[in-house]
Structure 1
Amino acid sequence: MAKKVELISSSLVSATATAASVSRLELNLWDLRLLPVVPIQRGLIFHSSHFQSQQHLIQHLRNSLSRALDFFPPLAGRLATTPHGGDTATFFVDCNNAGAEFTHSVAAAVSVSDIIEPRYIPEIVSSLFPINIGATNYEGISKPLLAVQVTELADGVFIGCAANHAVVDGTSFWHFLNSWSEISCGSESISKSPIFDRCNTAAAAVDNRLIHIPTLEKNLMAPSQWPQKPQKVFHFSKEKLGELKAKANSEAGTDRISTLQALMAHLWRSAVRCQTTNDSTARVILIAIGTRGRMSSLPDAYFGNASYAAALVISESDLLQGGLGAAALRINELISRQSDEAATRDVAKKVEFYEFDGSGAPPPLIMGSSPRHDVYGCDFGWGKPIGVRSGKMQKMEGLVIVLPAAEAGGFDVEVCLAEETLDAMECMMR
Structure 2
Amino acid sequence: MASPSVRRISECFIKPLHDLPPYAKKPIYFTPFELVFLNANYSQKGLLFAKPSPPENHDDFSITTFLDDLRRSLSATLTHFYPLAARLATRKEENPHSYVIYIDPENTQGVKFVYATVDLTVADILTSLEVPSVVHSFFDLNNAINHDGHTLPLLSIQVTELIDGIFIAGSVNHLIADGTSFWHFMAAWSEIFRSKEQDAYLISRPPLFKRWALEGSDPIINLPYTHHDQFIERPEHVQLKERFFHFSSALVLKLKEKANAECNTYKISSLQAVSAFLWRCITRVRGLPRDSETICKLVISNRRRLNPPLSDDYFGNPIQSVRGTATVEDLMTRGLGWAALQLHEAVIKHDDTAVKKWVESWFSSPEVYKGNALFHPNTVHFGSSPRFDMYGCEFGLGKALAARSGFVNKADGKMTMYPGREGGGSMDVEVCLLPEYMIDLECDEEFIRILRSN
Return the match for 2:185 from 173, 176, 182.
Answer: 176
For residues 254-277 of structure 1, give each alpha carbon's deviation from its aligned partner in whole angstroms, at most 9, with x where no partner exists. 111110010110010010011112
Distance 1:139 1:87, change over 3 A: farther
Given the alignment of the two structures, is residue 195 of structure 1 paired with residue 211 of structure 2, yes or no? no
Q: What percentage of residue pairs aligned between the two structures are identical?
A: 34
SS state at 1:274 partner: helix
1:307 and 2:307 are equivalent in the alignment: no
Contact 2:50-2:397 within 8 A present in 1 as well? no
Q: What do the CA deviations read for 1:383-422 (whole angstroms, capped 9, x no partner)?
A: 1211100000122222111110111121111111112222
Question: Where does 1:53-202 land on structure 2 (aligned, <5 Å)?
Answer: 53-85=62-94, 88-96=98-106, 97-107=108-118, 109-131=119-141, 135-186=144-195, 188-198=201-211, 201-202=213-214
Over 3 Å counting, the alpha-carbon distance change for 1:233 and 1:117 in structure 2 is same
Give the counterpart letter for 1:397 in structure 2. Answer: D
Given that 2:91 and 2:101 are in contact with CA atoms closer than 8 Å, whether structure 1 keeps it comes out as yes
Q: Which residue of 1 aligns with 2:13?
A: 12
Corresponding position of 1:412: 428
Report if the CA contact (8 A) 2:276-2:339 is conserved.
Answer: yes
- Partners of 2:351 and 2:402 in 1: how far apart? 34
Q: Measured at CA, do residues 337 and 7 of structure 1 come closer, stay the same or move farther in structure 2, by a change above 3 Å?
A: same
Q: Which amino acid aligns with 2:401?
A: I
Change over 3 Å in CA distance of 1:420–1:87 after alignment to 2 = farther
Quote the Cα distance in structure 2 between the aligned partners of 1:110 and 1:202.
50
- Give the CA deviation at 1:36: 0.8
Structure 1 stretch 375-384 or stretch 289-298: which is displaced more?
A: 289-298
Specify whether residues 392 and 318 from structure 1 end up closer, same or farther in structure 2 by C-alpha distance, changes over 3 A only. Answer: same
What is the CA distance between 1:297 and its match in structure 2? 4.1
Matches within 5 A, 1:219-368: 219-223=231-235, 225-295=236-306, 296-350=308-362, 351-356=366-371, 362-368=377-383
Q: CA deviation at 1:312?
A: 2.2
Whole-Å separation in 2 of the counterparts to 1:117 and 1:32: 39
Q: Secondary structure at the match of 2:286?
A: coil
2:411 corresponds to 1:396:
yes
* Cα distance change on mapping 1:357 and 1:135 into 2, 3 Å: closer
Q: Does structure 2 retain, via aligned residues, the 8 Å contact 1:241–1:410?
A: yes
**Take 1:90 and 1:321, find their aligned partners in 2: how far apart are those partners?**
50
* Aligned-pair CA distance for 1:111: 1.0
Alignment-mate amino acid for residue 428 of structure 2: D
The amino acid across from 1:171 in the alignment is: T
Deviation at 1:214, TM superposition (A): 6.2
State the shift of 1:18 in Å. 1.0
Indicate how the Cα distance of structure 1 residues 9 and 357 shifts in structure 2: closer, same or farther if over 3 A, else same.
Answer: closer
| Matched residue SS, 1:205 | coil
Which ranges in structure 1 are unaligned for 5 or more consecutive residues? none
2:430 matched to 1:421?
no
CA contact (8 A) 2:138 2:160 kept: yes
- 8 Å contact kept, 1:13–1:100: yes
Cα pair distance change 1:88/1:320, threshold 3 Å: farther
Deviation at 1:5, TM superposition (A): 0.8
- Relative to structure 1, is the Cα distance of residues 357 and 173 closer, same or farther in structure 2, using a 3 angstrom cutoff? closer
Higher alpha-carbon deviation: 284-293 or 121-130: 284-293
Quote how far apart the aligned CAs of 1:197 are: 0.9
CA distance in 1, matches of 2:391, 2:231: 36
Q: Distance in 1 between matches of 2:13 and 2:216?
A: 32
State whether residues 252 and 274 of structure 2, in contact with CA within 8 Å, keep that contact through their aligned partners in structure 1: yes
2:57 is aligned to none
Change over 3 Å in CA distance of 1:206–1:38 after alignment to 2: farther
Counterpart contact for 1:137–1:166, Cα < 8 Å:
yes
Provide the C-alpha distance between the structure 1 equivalents of 2:399 and 2:152, rounded to a whole number of angstroms: 30
User: Is 1:35–2:34 an aligned residue pair?
Assistant: no
| 1:212 Cα deviation from its structure 2 partner | 3.6
Distance 1:179 1:137 in 2: 24
Q: Which deviates more, 239-248 or 346-355?
A: 346-355
Gaps of 5+ in 2: 54-59
Q: Which amino acid aligns with 1:266?
A: F
Native 8 Å contact 1:84 1:90 kept in 2? no
Residue of structure 2 in register with 1:209 after alignment: 221
Return the alpha-carbon distance in structure 2 between the equivalents of residues 203 and 400 of structure 1.
35
**Are the counterparts in 1 of residues 38 and 369 from structure 2 also a CA contact under 8 Å?**
no
Distance 1:206 1:286 in 2: 30
